Structure 1
Amino acid sequence: MRDVMSEAPSDAELVRAVQGGEVAAVGVLIERHRAAMHAVALSVLGYGPEAEDAVQDASLIALRRIGDVRKAESVGAWLRMIVRNVCRARLRSAVSTTPLPELGAAEGPEEIIDRHAMRDWLWRAIDELSPLLRMTVMLRYFSPRTPSYEHLAALCGVPVGTVRSRLSEAVAKLAGAMAATADLVHEDTATLCRASAKEAVETLAAAGQGRFAELTAERWTPDAGFYVGRHRAGDRNFLVRGMADDLEAGVRQRFRSAVAGRDMAIWEMDLVNPPDRPAHCPPAVAWVMSMRHGRMHQLRLFHAPSAE
């Protein structure tokens, strides 16, 4: 097969190249059609950063779903359709709850990954990104309640513009990372997610039984800390006290889902408030964890906004 990066092959040839394993050709396709994708976003959302954000979201969807294209010569229309779907989802909600509308709202992140043949390869590529890019990608594209750009900025302690630039950089690098890891053994992502989910359930059970301090001493690093943005706001004891205070106030956490990579995991919990104080806490919280040697090292919390 000829080198798709040195000539000007047709769209159909690029799609066939991708489906034959030349993942870098996805980048060529996206760049070729970026102007048309952006035009669609502008026509739906108007001028502003939201249009570029929609193109970025659509680009990652294309990277993940390129194997589904049946009419290779119509890939341009397929890319524009993805952008249009993303834009419509943004219009339906001021805070987008999923950047993957065409995959079905009933599917969670693990189901979405499971249905795609390239899931483990993609996760291996995500693991090749820098920790900052990896955290941003996982929160934006794989967290069940996707944070807005503003929430992501607050969670990471950076300006909104930095979040946008990180996502743009991550999408640009993923195709190259997938090409670089094509011949490597790809860890079973579903197994990682199941193991992480089991750990989350055990953690909540330990908290309810008064063993949270004991469990965290065993499973977290000695210098594990709680972070707000880029700043360390407390140590393990601070988190243990916080969990104890919530339990004493009658607040319970109920496990919902987990996504996990090589050294990062996101647990989403529903927050169940006491009957006499139904608005005591937001409806849900995501534990965003950076791991070190398989143990939790840094924890950030993202509280989902209430429906009101």
Structure 2
Amino acid sequence: MTTEIEIRNMTRAEVDELVAWAAREGWNPGLHDAELFWATDPEAFVAAEIDGELIGGGAITSYGGEFGFMGFFIVRPEFRGRGFGDTLWHVRRQRLLDRLKPGASIGMDGVFEMQDYYAKGGFVFSHRDLRFRAEIGEPPATSPEYDQYIVPLAQVPFDQLLAYDRNCFPAPRPQFLKPWIAQPDALAIGYQCDGKLRGYGVVRLCDEGCKVGPLFADDSRIAEALYERLAGFAAGGPLFLDVPENNPAAMALAAEHEMVEVFGCARMYLGGMPKLAHERIFGVTTFELG
């Protein structure tokens, strides 16, 4: 047996294995995350192996070369503390830089205890993204005055959705959004007024309960209207929402619904922080792909 590590692209089947590892780590992936993440960028998944055995992996997603995101970074517990994760992380970072256009930035959501490590790799702290949990019993009461504005996202022209999403994400991501809003075991809705999209949200079934992501809205009133209906999808189980701490209105939404903080990550960027409408981001899409 050798201790020489080989870094290569992952196969589709290995992405399923990576998602299974994530479930064991308590990351609570969505039921269809593997296929959706693969559809977004099949070249994003990087494997580490020793003697033909998969020991770690991660994603380096490129959004049209305009923005990159490092996530889904896992090394099997028995191979930790031996430098393999350090090698994998640095190779992933360089590979992603090579995939991006000059001047493009890279984002990541890193666990707090690794923040200093990522800073040594050039990443600069932006804010905290905090995971909140709510126990949804009966479907929550909704505000009937907003019923006329809530529509299935499939009814919204895709170009309009893509333009709205671009205010809240650093690059266009059509390859991600098309399958994401159409995935099974999920609800995707928009808030449309006078033919204009003013917010949207998606909730998907996960190993445990459901996760909302993203939840984007022009203001807290619209975010509340969307949240009420997304929470109804999760009735009878837990609901998770990943809230950016730099949006006070988003934090207030979590507090209003008595959600409990259960996890968190540091959002960090390499190569400059993108200009986003942070006041519209009430829930980030995923910790794995941004």
TM-score (norm 1): 0.26
**Which is strand-richer, 1 or 2?**
2
**Which has a greater percent of helix?**
1
